[in-house]
Amino acid sequence: VAAAVVAPGPVTGSEDVGLLARAVDAPCVYWLLGGADPALFERLDDPAAVVARVDELPSNHSPHFAPVIEPTLTVGVRALVAAARTWLSPSDQRGDPG
């Protein structure tokens, strides 16, 4: 799962969940999950071609967004569970200084 993670960097959004979390001094994360049919990428060797293909795909809010349910759902659930278990584990098990 970790090999498929892409850090998008800062993104703009209209969500105010971060403000709400900050108001009550609570941790917050905005989870982005995408999915696409792997067959769309089979013959693409060039990273630029992969990026171009991703840019052509419908986004999550598009009426044309239709990822292949499996493995998209399973991978998404596994990634979310791994992130939650890491966050909820004691800090000494995460490698945090404390």
- Quick: pLDDT tens for 33-63: 878 888 888 888 888 898 899 889 888 888 9
Cα–Cα distance measured from residue 66 to residue 72, given in angstroms and rounded to the nearest whole number: 10
Q: Average pLDDT for residues 8-28, to the nearest whole number?
A: 81
Q: Which two three-digit tokens encode residue 14?
A: 């209209």
Reported pTM: 0.62
Whether 96 has a pLDDT exceeding 60, the answer reads: no
**Residue 85 binned pLDDT confidence (cut-offs 50, 70, 90):** very high
Q: What are phi and psi of 51, to 5 degrees?
A: -60, -45
Q: Which two three-digit tokens encode residue 17?
A: 């969940």
Q: What angle do CA 72, 77, 79 make, to 5 degrees?
A: 95
Q: Which two three-digit tokens encode residue 74?
A: 């399973």
The domain locations on the chain are 14-94
Position 47 scores a pLDDT of 86
Q: Average pLDDT for residues 18-41, to the nearest whole number?
A: 84
H/E/C letters for each residue in the chain?
CHHHCCCCCCCCCCCCHHHHHHHCCCCCCCCCCCCCCHHHHCCCCCHHHHHHHHHHCCCCCCCCCCCCHHHHHHHHHHHHHHHHHHHHCCHHHHCCCC
Higher pLDDT, 15 or 86: 86
**Residue 24 binned pLDDT confidence (cut-offs 50, 70, 90):** very high
